[in-house]
Chains A and B, each alone.
Chain A
Amino acid sequence: MTQNPGTEQVQTGFFKKYRGLLLQALVLMALWLILSGRFYFEPIFYGAVSVALVVWLNSKIRHIPLSNGEILTGQRIKILRLLTYIPWLLWQIVMSAFFVAYLTLHPKMPINPMIVRFKSKLPNSLAKVILGNSISLTPGTLTMDIRGDYFTVHAIVDKVEQDLVSGDMESRVGQLYLDSCTPEEMCTDISITKRGLEAKKALQRDEEKK
C-alpha cells in the first residue's frame, strides 16, 4: 500500500512524539507474552488492555517532577547506540567478575580501597542512573552515592581508579544522549580520599546546601 507524502510526514511526527510510549508498550507486551506463555486471543486481549492502562498511567506519572525537581520527559535515548552499549556492558561484567574473583582468591589480597568523588556532565537523571549502574558493574568500582552532579565511588585498587577518572565510560554513556562527547571534558573536579569521614562530611555539606 502506497502512502502520499503528507500522511507519511504526519506519521513520522506522531512516531517521534510518542516514541517513548510506543517502545514502552512494545517492551511491556513482550514481557506479558513471555510471562503468560499463551498465544491465543483471550490472554493477548487482556494483555493489550493492561499494557494500555499501564502506558496511560506512566504518561501521566512522567510529568510529576522527581525529588530533585527534574522532569523525566527530556532528551531521548539513541537506540542504535544503546544496542552497541549493552554487549560492551556484558563484556565488562565478565571482566569484573574475573577481576574480583582474582582478588578474592589471591592469598595476600592486594587491595587498596579508596573513595573517589567526581563531577560529571551528564545531561539528565536517567543517564546518571545508567552511569551509576555501569560503574557498579565494571571492574573494581561501586557507586556509593549520586547527589546532584557529584558521584561518590568506591574503588578497590589504584588501577581501576585511574580507569574511572579517565572518563572513558562516561563518554560512552554520554554518547547515548549527546551527539558527541570526549572523555576529557566529561569528568572533572576529582578528589580522592581514603577516609570515610571526609566522604560523609562532603555528602552532608551537600545535603545542608539544599
Chain B
Amino acid sequence: MELIANVLAVFFLLAGVTFMLVGSIGINRFPDVYCRAHAATKVDTLGIMLFVLGLVFFTGLSITSLKLILVAIFVSLTSPVAAHALTRRALLHGVKPWTKK
C-alpha cells in the first residue's frame, strides 16, 4: 500500500515538474506578452496542482496535506487574476499584440 502511494507520489511530482518546465519554455518561446501570459497562467497552474497532489500522496491525509491543498487552491485562484491585471495594463499601455503575418 505504501509502495503504491510512493509510486503515485513520484509520478505526480515528475508530471508537475514537467509541466512547470513546459510553462517556463512557453514564457520564453511565445512572441508577445499576451501569449506568454497564457503559458504562465494555465500550464503553471496545472503543474503546481499535480506537484501538490504528489506531495499529498507522500505525506498522507492529515492537517498538513489539507494545507498543501490550500496552497494549490490559492495559486489556481490567483494566477488568472494576476495575468488579467498584467495583460490589462499592457493593453492600456499600448503594447501591440503579435499577429500572424
Contact = CB atoms under 8 A, between A and B. Distances in A.
Q: Do A and B bind each other?
A: yes
Interface of A: 31, 34-35, 37, 93-94, 96-97, 99-101, 103-105, 109, 111-115, 132-133, 136-137, 139-140, 142-145, 152, 154, 156, 194-197, 199-200, 203
Interface string B31-54: 010110111011101110100000
A154 B23 CA distance: 18
Given A104-B29, A200-B92, A142 B84 contact: yes
B55 to A, nearest CB: 16
B97 A97 contact: no
Contacts of A203: 91-92
Interface residues of B, number: 42
B26 A100 contact: yes
Interface of B: 19, 22-23, 25-26, 29-30, 32, 34-35, 37-39, 41-43, 45-47, 49, 63-64, 66-67, 70, 76-77, 80-81, 83-84, 87-88, 91-92, 94-100
Nearest to A156: B38
Q: Please name the 9 residue pairs, one residue from A and one from B, whose CB atoms are nearest each other, closest first.
A: A97-B46, A136-B80, A104-B26, A37-B63, A196-B97, A96-B42, A101-B22, A194-B99, A112-B100
B26 to A, nearest CB: 4
Contacts of B98: 113
B63 A34 contact: yes
A109 B32 CA distance: 13
Q: Is the contact region of chain B dominated by helix, strand, or loop, or is it mixed? A: helix
A179 B67 CA distance: 36
A38 to B, nearest CB: 9
Contacts of A34: 63, 66-67, 70
B99 to A, nearest CB: 5
A142 B92 contact: no
A101 B47 CA distance: 11
A115 B26 contact: no
A149 to B, nearest CB: 17
Contacts of A97: 19, 42-43, 45-47
A210 to B, nearest CB: 15
A159 B60 CA distance: 41
Contacts of A156: 35, 38
